[in-house]
Amino acid sequence: LEQFALETDGMTLAGMLNVAKLAGSERIATRDIADAIRMDRLGTRRNPWKSEIMRGRISRAKEIISRRIKGQERAVEKAIDILVRSIVGLSGSQTSSRHSRPRGVLFLAGPTGVGKTELAKAITELLFGEDTACHRFDMSEFMEENSINRMIGAPPGYPGHEHGGQLVNAMHKKPFSVVLFDEVEKAHPRILDMFLQILDEGRLTDSRGSTAYFSEALIIFTSNIGMIGKDHTQNLGMNILPGDSYSELEQKLIEAIRDHFKLELHRPELYNRLGQNIIAFEFIDGRVAYEIFKAIVGRVNDVVRAEHGVEVKIEETAMNDLIDLCLTDWFEGGRGIANRIETHFINPLSREIFNLQPKRLITVKSAEETDGRTKLECTAK
């Protein structure tokens, strides 16, 4: 009875009766009442969070994630701690409503282009074996007051009401998933109120009365709150700079996020729900920038090999030329490096492959930018 009371805390009497009836018909023991609740809400007793496959993946999480995320060792370690907590079911264990709340919550904060969204994707693949288990919502598309209708559906009588909301529909389709809210600071305040309900109660009801549950989902927010602008001087919050130590950067970010929710948005309760789940990302340095550069160039060469059966050989002179062109500024992080690689390597390489039509090998001898256009000197076999 104590276990039943713990698992059904916050449920209505009708809901508890439904669960009890389902447990009886499916011969589910009282000690396994959580399985009956899961079946009632999600239609399945299966719980991948407790599978040996999931535990095996988490045991190798640092190794797997570090292949995709460069230079963020402390952020990755903190994220893995939250994942482990989610696996053993201790997320929110200090509260009475932990059984209905999301499996875990991560708030990824820091400079642009340093791997926050990439970490969310890496976590999704780690947990569920594929990126498609990530429901991603770009909050820059939800800045208007009525944009909440896209999440929970249009009101009765309005166009699109019968289709329901994107978020509720996504959770019905894949309740065991990662839900990513990218650049959360751009969301309209009404969206923030919706977040409160998800974090507190672990459920959301759309305009048609259909309820989605988040008790088996991992919620990830990303944010640039507190970071300086692209001109390297414009301050959007605390004075957070590349020279800060990790502890200084982390403290400044936490203070900036706290002030944003408490003083600017007047929603201290949302900040309080984030608890200790704020994970600070560092600026990348020269070593990390070079690792990112090598990884992206390597992926480009892999694509050329797969698509055309052609090996790409980059001679030392050409590699140094590309490094000079692509690593001139790290401020925009990996995204900025990727954009410059597209400009200075992918685009001119595409032209050379098209013109030279190599059979098995293309050798890049040099790279030179003239009047904003980069040309590669190549030979082909």
Which domain CATH number covers 264?
Answer: 3.40.50.300
Shared domain check, 323 and 269: no
Shared domain check, 100 and 228: yes
Residue span of the structural domain in which 183 resides: 47-280
Task: Work out how many domains the chain is built from and give that number.
Answer: 3
Shared domain check, 297 and 251: no
Residue scoring higher pLDDT (52 or 337): 337
Shared domain check, 346 and 220: no
61 to 46, 48, 82, 256: CA distances (angstroms): 23, 16, 12, 30
pLDDT for 27: 65
User: In which band, very low, low, confident or very high, does the pLDDT at 130 lie, cut at 50, 70 and 90?
Assistant: confident
Q: For residue 221, list its beta bridge partners.
A: 107, 181
Shared domain check, 88 and 57: yes
The span from the first CA to the last CA of the chain, in angstroms, equals 76
- For all residues of the chain together, what is the average pLDDT? 85
Shared domain check, 249 and 295: no
Look at residue 76 and tell me whether its pLDDT is greater than 70.
yes
Residue pLDDT, tens place only, 243-261:
889 999 999 999 999 999 9
- Asked if 135 and 180 touch (Cβ cutoff 8 Å), the reply is yes
Residue scoring higher pLDDT (141 or 274): 141
**% of the chain surpassing 90 pLDDT:** 51
Of 254, 106, 114, the C-alpha closest to 180 is: 106
Residue scoring higher pLDDT (157 or 356): 356
pLDDT for 3: 54
Phi, psi of 35 (to 5 degrees): -65, -40
Residue pLDDT, tens place only, 201-247:
888 988 888 888 898 899 999 999 988 544 444 444 457 778 889 99
Shared domain check, 94 and 170: yes
Shared domain check, 343 and 224: no
Q: Of the candidates 257, 280, 303, which is a domain's last residue?
A: 280
pLDDT for 230: 44
146 to 77, 118, 125, 152: CA distances (angstroms): 38, 29, 33, 11
Q: Of the candidates 280, 297, 318, which is a domain's last residue?
A: 280
What is the pLDDT averaged over residues 115-132? 89
Phi, psi of 68 (to 5 degrees): -105, -30
pLDDT for 232: 42
What is the pLDDT averaged over residues 156-183? 87
Shared domain check, 276 and 300: no
Q: What is the CATH number of the domain that holds 323?
A: 1.10.8.60
Please give the Cα distance from 8 to 17 (Å, whole number).
Answer: 10
Q: How many helices (H) and strands (E) does the chain have?
A: 16, 10
Q: Of the candidates 252, 280, 308, which is a domain's last residue?
A: 280
Shared domain check, 185 and 41: no
User: For the whole model, what pTM was predicted?
Assistant: 0.81
Shared domain check, 218 and 317: no
Shared domain check, 364 and 240: no
